[in-house]
Chains A and B, each alone.
Chain A
Amino acid sequence: MSAKTMFEKIWDAHVVDEEPDGTALLYIDRHLVHEVTSPQAFEGLKQTGRKPRRPTAVLAVPDHNVPTTDRRVGIPDPMSHRQIQMLEENCAGFSIQMFGMNDIRQGIVHVIGPEQGLTLPGMTIVCGDSHTSTHGAFGALAFGIGTSEVEHVLATQCLVQKRPKTMEILVEGTLSEHCSAKDMILAIIGEIGTSGGTGYVMEYTGSAIRALSMEGRMTLCNMSIEGGARAGMIAPDEITFSFIKGRPLAPKGTLLDQALAAWAELGTDPEVQFDKAVHLQAEDIAPQVTWGTNPGMVSRVDGTVPNPLSMPKGAVRQAAERALEYMGLRPGTPIEQIKIDRVFIGSCTNSRIEDLRVVASYLKGKKVAPWVHAMVVPGSGLVKKQAEEEGLDQVFRSAGMEWRESGCSMCLAMNADVLQPGERCASTSNRNFEGRQGKGGRTHLVSPAMAAAAAVAGHFVDIRHWA
């Protein structure tokens, strides 16, 4: 048998049927559903009289629209309220399990899948959400789909897909203290650009990747899509297995033993060739801060805002000029001198317990700068509970940060959590697109540690030299 990448092993095991041109009918093991990209899919099922083929392979949760303030008062926005109500009705009508807004297991769809043990190595997972790539951290093939495909998977448990190419992102060495998976992925995107991974599935390999916790691996895979790749993956190992064991939806007993034996064979064969390869050295990665309006517009914290005139003439320079104008930044400004108004700690990228612990460790005994409004939004009700049991909420509160209920919140600002025009935010989320966090809002993507330090200082600081 020829050598295969992990991606190829999983892909091949899920091909139900193949067209002569290589288009595959791919079997989908798990389907996650949220309120924004599903109503039209359920509507399509109703109009055609179709039913979900395997409703017990689907888990639904409202996350994009939910308020992060006291939920006992309901959802004030009638449109948001209706969308969540639709999800409840559709799930009830089609016998799909849903974690409702007041269920402690509710949270961001990509946080709760792994948390519940739904996400397992070797499986295919889809969701009408581009950050489905997160689940690849477990050695699963997980990718975002559109609403028509959501309907397709509901009706058939399959998807028609063209086989992507493979790309290896090799990161060797040891990340320096104060740097995290977030800095690593921002540095990778800075290197390959926001379309460097288009048409590829990424596999992250190397000693620096193997050293990451599951939370770090999820952060990394989560932002694969910001580099253009629909999916990112990491080979499962003991760190993966110990994370999975004992979770409510994870296999148990002999089933677990059987699964563990299969998972041990899942990794990419040693002699394999990827279609494309990128190599980074972990020691070269410094804390990162985005300065522009896509995640590839990123700099080291000890760097400066770039000068578009130093870029090649044409589209790239124009985009940088436009980005600086939108961001209200002047070329040559040291990143550390950029003053902020808001801090957002949350999103499917960085809202897990480990992220919150890091934030608390940088905040302890300190206060948020008087002009900064900071909020912490945990990734799930269970993350919130865990953080409170560890007293992290007290650290946030006494530093002057708001401690909220779980949800997507100001990552995309579909609920009431929005930046005002011109407000500048240090955010642990994944997209710094124009208007992403609110019309006219200015987003700088950073790690949780960098966000915590910026909250205290009121501007970005190089946490490697910050006390």
Chain B
Amino acid sequence: MEAFTTLTGLVAVLDRVNVDTDQIIPKQYLKTIHRTGLKEGLFADWRHRPDGSLDPLFFMNQTRYQGATILLTGDNFGCGSSREHAPWALLDYGIRSLLAPSFADIFFSNCFQNGILPVRLQAHEIQQLFDAVHAQEGYRLMIDLPSQKVKTPEGTSFHFDIDPFRKTGLIQGLDAIDLTLQREPAIAAYEARRKQEVPWLFQDL
């Protein structure tokens, strides 16, 4: 996983609430057996109009948002299915950070597994950023994970919260499975104790 420390990048906007993972990547793209190449499916049903032509109003089809690495969006982004194809598709398209007032739990946790930083800001801060992006083409933000700040070109900065464990994992680009494997003695001791206490949970399937 690629580490995440600071990111300065172009901001794209998707001004909708409750964007579900079925929209982020529709099911016809879930038949893949790979983690890469999923940008083709990113917002496939919203990028295109019913007749198959590109929707010029959708952010991915607008010249001003080409090359965006930050996506600014609405409440409860990523709700619905647990499909990790959603963060894979965003990453494949180039998005490294998402800004929203809230995210759905499973999607939020999936982002951290892939070096994507989901940032929760206050609703009025998100609104302020929407206004700023709409007002100025080429609007860029600086996201500073070590100091937990989103910095605007005007010099404002917004603080965000993040669990220390997740923060360290992202900054160091650590392999989560490796970290857990290092705790093998604790896992083995837990199993040995639980086999005595709750043997029915250890029957072989």
Contact = CB atoms under 8 A, between A and B. Distances in A.
Nearest to B83: A37
B159 interface: no
Size category of the A interface is 35 or more
Interface stretch (B26-34, B63-71, B91-99, B146-154): B26-34
A68 interface: no
Interface string A419-440: 0010000000001011110011
B31 A249 contact: no
Interface stretch (A145-153, A171-179, A298-306, A449-457): A145-153
B187 interface: yes
Interface string A316-330: 101100100000000
Contacts of B76: 194-195, 198, 228
Interface in A80-107: 80, 82-83, 86, 97
A145 B186 contact: no
B133 to A, nearest CB: 16
A212 interface: no
Contacts of A29: 201
Nearest to A96: B205
A16 B105 CA distance: 22
A144 B23 contact: no
A308 interface: no
A404 to B, nearest CB: 19
A80 to B, nearest CB: 6
B18 A155 contact: no
Given A23-B163, A434-B45, A230 B187 contact: no
A256 B200 contact: yes
Contacts of A262: 198
A376 to B, nearest CB: 22
Interface residues of B, number: 59
B181 A120 contact: no
A439 B48 CA distance: 11
Given A16-B183, A316-B17, A412-B27, A195 B102 contact: yes
A123 B194 CA distance: 12
A36 interface: yes
A73 interface: no
A149 B109 contact: yes
Contacts of B105: 164, 198-199, 228-230
Contacts of A25: 180, 183, 186-187
Interface in B156-189: 163-166, 176-177, 179-181, 183, 186-187
Contacts of B103: 198
Contacts of B20: 294, 431, 433
A251 B187 contact: no
Interface string B121-133: 0000000000000
B34 A40 contact: yes
Given A23-B163, A255-B199, A435-B22, A440 B183 contact: no
B101 to A, nearest CB: 10
Interface in B1-58: 15-18, 20, 22-23, 26-28, 30-35, 45, 50
Interface in A224-258: 225, 228-230, 249, 251, 255-256, 258
Interface in A120-157: 120, 122-123, 128-130, 143-149, 151-152, 155-157
Contacts of A53: 187
Smallest CB-CB A-B distances: 6 pairs: A148-B113, A56-B204, A146-B84, A146-B110, A79-B31, A39-B33
Interface of B: 15-18, 20, 22-23, 26-28, 30-35, 45, 50, 74-76, 79-84, 87, 102-106, 109-110, 113-114, 163-166, 176-177, 179-181, 183, 186-187, 190-191, 194, 198-201, 203-205
23 contacts: A16-B183, A21-B164, A23-B163, A23-B166, A27-B190, A40-B33, A43-B35, A53-B187, A82-B33, A120-B200, A143-B106, A145-B109, A157-B191, A198-B105, A199-B105, A230-B106, A251-B203, A255-B199, A259-B198, A315-B17, A318-B17, A412-B81, A433-B20
